[in-house]
Structure 1
């Protein structure tokens, strides 16, 4: 008969310490303020810890728990503290020194001060390996299933908002997401032709560098997952070494004991692969495999959406770049700066544009505009509209006529998009600035002394709308009246689209314009530096709308008093018109310090005006100005397409001598087409700079 082992002597009744020790129940005391934790000898024995191994803090328990178990226990305690409960309990998986699995039950009592603030936890830690039917283990398995399912749901919900591949990788690299998954590292590879491009890795120090680019036919688990469209599960370090010897040198120095590689499948083909590495040993359960496959499916859908979005964005961005001017011409006498900022929302492309058109003879045209919408259609319409408006002003059409024709062109496109635009034409020699506005907001002028003010430009309808039946009194029949002013040397014209002015959360609709005015007046004088300062109003990434900005600064020194340009209307049947024009021309020439040329300029201008009044029906305009080259220029415009010709007049002829006189008096003369009419001009060289 076998000898029975004697039980230790125990006094009656048993003391609490003896009762706890015989049932493998230890105690712990945790000071929440200092972070110190005390484990008695039985608690150390349950966790298979030597006293010198324990650090005296909760972190010392992690050497016997996996990352996922420690994270779950932390979450359980944090929830109890948050809910104001006095007790909590949890079953956790742990491992003994020899690597064998164990179950431990932890129960704590939370002490709180008079204000309800928790400051201490006193509890029991016991070996749960002999619980009948492992009720704790079953409960923890159910909780594990719920936790993993929750991880998949949360990850899928977060990835639903991912718009780029970087957004997807940022979610996967999040340390909190890794801890919930139980993984210590994550790798994301994207199929690129016959290779896999590794684009992301998580948790620095645990990354396995399977080379940035690997061939799909290589002996790597990620390549195998892509080839076979099946997940690859690795349950031990020995399996890593045996199945993938080329990968083993990278795995060997790491604390990695298992892993899984999931193919990311979208529309029946692999677009990438996801690798997860673990410190745990052992194969994956059927439930774990199903959850991981579901996670891979959600990531694949998000990744495909992000890749398609980036492809579409790259196409749209390339289209936008092609539609905007490739370079900005440098025009003597001016400094120009342009900026474009894409929107943060939508496809980050829109219909905003800018352009600079050299018109010759010291004149320059500048414009900004905005087509409705933020898509490729808006960008395509913008490109067509910019080019056609550029063509009209280059042909010599006046600003109002060019704007009216651009509006008709947009209507002919049969699109439902409208556009707004501001076009300005500047004579750099005289400073004459002519502006026309189509549904756009007013421009801003910064004077040489730093003051700034908006320019009240008479506006017309947005481009694409049918013109009014009759033009209001005093306005151009084109429907786009022209506003003229003088831009002095040192002044800067500011044109922008409403993306720079929009403030979505501001109650005051004028807040954006006030901010712009403050920034313009307080900003630097240099146009490039000022453009950067204005862009800072919305930031480098843009706002809810795209934005185009153009700054034009007139260089040079101020001219003498009265040195501005002269523009007069020639009306048929007005007997006083020519006489008044001759008087004003003489006064302007005298103001420019060229009194000795007054007779010649007056006579030449009189001959050109007479040609308009006698040989055309619609009258015209006479312009007299001082050019940047130091010449007096006389332009007489009319609406007739018939070109004048010089001819010899007989002794008794009453006409035919006008152009002969102009040719003899002026240094140069010529004819330029101007849209539906022409301009006959002549220039006189000043005897000395004014």
Structure 2
């Protein structure tokens, strides 16, 4: 009986390790390619500009997450509707992969398309909910949709499972939006989404965020929302620009320790110019 030389065993082991390393490298490259594709989809689907609204300031901040080579499906949007009002949306798709990113694009584009049929936020969410259910996907999304009337400053808001918005006034008051809301999009058929009305006066701000901004390993959801409430309150009293507030909120998200996408959408009503003495 012949005995295998130890050197032969070592050579086989090294060869096997080399094969496993090559396979792991191929899988990592494939996953990295999928992430790069998802990031490209995100950048292509999110708006590059925001509408100019006389008397108001709109600002956004967005930080995609790349934790464990995964990408989420958060989005924001702002566009002019056929009736002259401004449509604002922010949301978060379940999952962290390229399918979630593609689904995000379907929801955002669907909202824009349906806004040409109706600008009423509750009906708009009900219609997109039915559309998503008809697609037969297993994914779902949370969303807040707002209709801003620039002539009056009135905001009509409907919420589908999304975290509440934050408001602050120039006279020092701030808090969470007290709206009822409904379930996430793509979960239950024939769902009604209540509409809440609010008015932005001069110097007031409204901040909409996704959960990556306010919830993570370092902060609970309530603690994260309290942080945004404080920032919005200070910004409104100090008369900070919407862009400065959006930047402050997204930087505050670093304290959360989030591993998810983080999106911020700020709406602020301008103060009248100060009169010279």
Question: How far off its partner does 1:443 sit?
Answer: 0.7
Range moving further from structure 2, 443-452 or 402-411: 443-452
Report the CA distance between 1:444 and its aligned residue: 0.7
1:499 has 2:212 as partner: yes
Matches of 1:556 and 1:518, distance apart in 2: 20
TM-score (norm 2): 0.84
- Aligned twin of 1:458: 180
- Quote how far apart the aligned CAs of 1:542 are: 7.4
More strand by share: 1
Q: CA contact under 8 A between 1:467 and 1:479: conserved in structure 2?
A: no
Say which one has the larger Rg: 1
> Kindly tell me: are residues 510 and 440 of structure 1, through their superposed partners in 2, closer, same or farther at Cα, counting changes over 3 Å?
same
1:538 aligns with 2:253: yes
- Normalized against structure 1, the TM-score is what? 0.36
Alignment partner of 1:421 is 2:143: yes
Task: For residue 330 of structure 1, report the CA deviation from its aligned partner.
Answer: 2.2
> CA 1:541–1:518 in structure 2 vs 1: closer, same or farther (change >3 Å)?
closer
Match for 1:513 among 186, 211, 225?
225
Q: Kindly provide the CA deviation profile for residues 208-237 of structure 1, in whole angstroms up to 9, marking residues without a partner as x.
A: xxxxxxxxxxxxxxxxxxxxxxxxxxxxxx
Is the CA contact (8 Å cut-off) linking 2:82 and 2:116 kept in structure 1? no
- The alpha-carbon deviation at position 288 of structure 1 amounts to 8.4
Q: Which residue is 1:264 aligned to?
A: none
8 A Cα contact 1:503 1:511, kept in partner: no
- Aligned partners of 1:385, 1:294: CA distance in 2, in Å? 47
SS at match of 1:356: strand
Say if 2:218 and 2:257, in contact at 8 Å, map to a contact too. Answer: no
Change in 2 beyond 3 A, CA 1:399/1:349:
same
Structure 1 residues 364, 397: CA separation in 2 closer, same or farther (over 3 Å shift)? closer
How far, CA to CA, are the matches of 1:324 and 1:465 in structure 2? 24
Task: Say whether the 8 Å CA contact 2:253–2:262 is kept in structure 1.
Answer: no
2:62 aligns with 340
Give, in whole Å, the separation in 2 of the partners of 1:295 and 1:466. Answer: 50
Matched, 1:551 2:266: yes
1:406 to 121, 124, 128: 128
The Cα shift of 1:557 comes to: 2.6
Counterparts of 2:256 and 2:19, CA distance in 1:
32
**TM-superposition CA deviations, 1:43-64 (whole Å, max 9, x none):** xxxxxxxxxxxxxxxxxxxxxx
Q: Which residue of 2 aligns with 1:371?
A: 93
5 Å matches for 1:14-53? none
Which residue matches 1:104?
none
Instruction: Give how far 1:381 is off.
Output: 1.5
Cα 1:538/1:358, change in 2 over 3 Å: same
Q: RMSD of the alignment, in Å?
A: 2.9
Deviation at 1:296, TM superposition (A): 4.6
Query: Does the 8 Å contact 1:428/1:554 carry over to 2?
Result: no
Contact 1:438 1:480 in 2 (8 A): yes
Using CA pairs below 8 Å that are at least 6 residues apart, which structure has the higher relative contact order? 2
